[in-house]
A = this chain, B = another copy of it.
């Protein structure tokens, strides 16, 4: 870990002559655990089809509760296995009844002798924690050594956690940059009023970086925000002493707010899982934990307001990152002119940690 001075724009420029990869064409690295569904979406005895970066995957939960993840195609005629039937501890294709166990092995073809069974399909390592179903889409040898995220606030009764998410039509990198760049408060001016972020320090390692912010209010605080996050102490005391830390620990992201005394009052964990092969769409999974105040049930009462408030913020963020993606699609290259060193460093990180291939894109000028 090392501290990096702020506003050193240019520090992460590539060496002269080295071409920089267009970040929007860098695929996410598959050698990590990615949530592909909420636990509640896959009931006992059911199979559900999901996607990771263009690969169709079926999540199946047997009657006994075993969960497994396979390629979502029958080895026979390639139709999706999620349209099949969970039978006992296996999954049966809905077309001709070919049957697969939790390792992807084909264990029955109704009209073929057992001695002539064909090869099966790929199985993915699959684990369930915090109400999320995680799958390891990459090199199966690495699944063991790569850790699942630990989310202490989610398990801690001192916090109440909201699960949220949605499909967003953009490359995952726009999401990381959106959350880490707190200079975009102007986008949320209706909910937040006029806030100015001040970045204090940033730190980084090989596959992570984080930045601390404080905020100065420049106008009046909207009622909604005051109700959710508490009123500023006095109008005169315009400097909020809370510190917000935004961190990308590839491929996940967290945003934590600590009060004066170091208490963690808000703890967000979020990830953006590419759905299509071009990785122009992601499904966002977020866990937002809020520390319960002293008054019992106060947070529960305020919860609907918090949901409304965060949904509005999230909706504005979704809207703007989708416009960023549209611009990139039209321009056919990365025209971004970033002046904030934090974001240039983040882009560097995402480029370095991403997959080694290049996402092919359609050429500009297509009539489509």
Contacts and interface: CB of A to CB of B under 8 A. Distances in A.
Interface of A: 54, 56, 73, 75-80, 83, 92-97, 109-112, 116, 118-119, 181, 183-184, 186-187, 196-197, 277-278, 280, 320, 323-324, 327-331, 335-340, 359-368
Contact of A340 (B111, B360, B367): B111
A79 B323 contact: yes
19 contacts: A54-B330, A76-B337, A77-B324, A77-B338, A79-B320, A79-B324, A83-B320, A95-B186, A96-B187, A110-B196, A111-B183, A111-B196, A278-B366, A360-B363, A360-B366, A361-B367, A362-B366, A362-B367, A368-B368
Contacts of A360: 363, 365-366
Nearest to A359: B365
Contacts of A111: 183, 196-197, 340
Nearest to A177: B77
Contacts of A361: 367
A76 B363 CA distance: 23
Given A73-B327, A277-B364, A323-B83, A186 B78 contact: no
A5 to B, nearest CB: 16
Given A118-B337, A367-B362, A95 B280 contact: no
A330 B320 CA distance: 30
A337 B75 contact: yes
Contact of A329 (B95, B97, B338, B367): B367
Contact of A184 (B92, B96, B183): B96
Question: Which 10 pairs of residues, A with B, have the shortest CB-CB distance?
Answer: A78-B327, A97-B186, A360-B365, A278-B367, A79-B323, A362-B367, A111-B183, A96-B184, A96-B183, A362-B366
A217 to B, nearest CB: 14
A interface: dominant SS: loop
A96 B323 contact: no
Contacts of A94: 186-187, 320
Given A110-B183, A186-B95, A361-B367, A323 B80 contact: yes
B362 A368 contact: yes
A341 to B, nearest CB: 11
Contacts of A363: 360
A96 to B, nearest CB: 5
Nearest to A187: B95
A56 B78 CA distance: 32
A278 B365 contact: yes
A92 to B, nearest CB: 8
Contact of A336 (B78, B280, B327): B78
Contacts of A329: 367
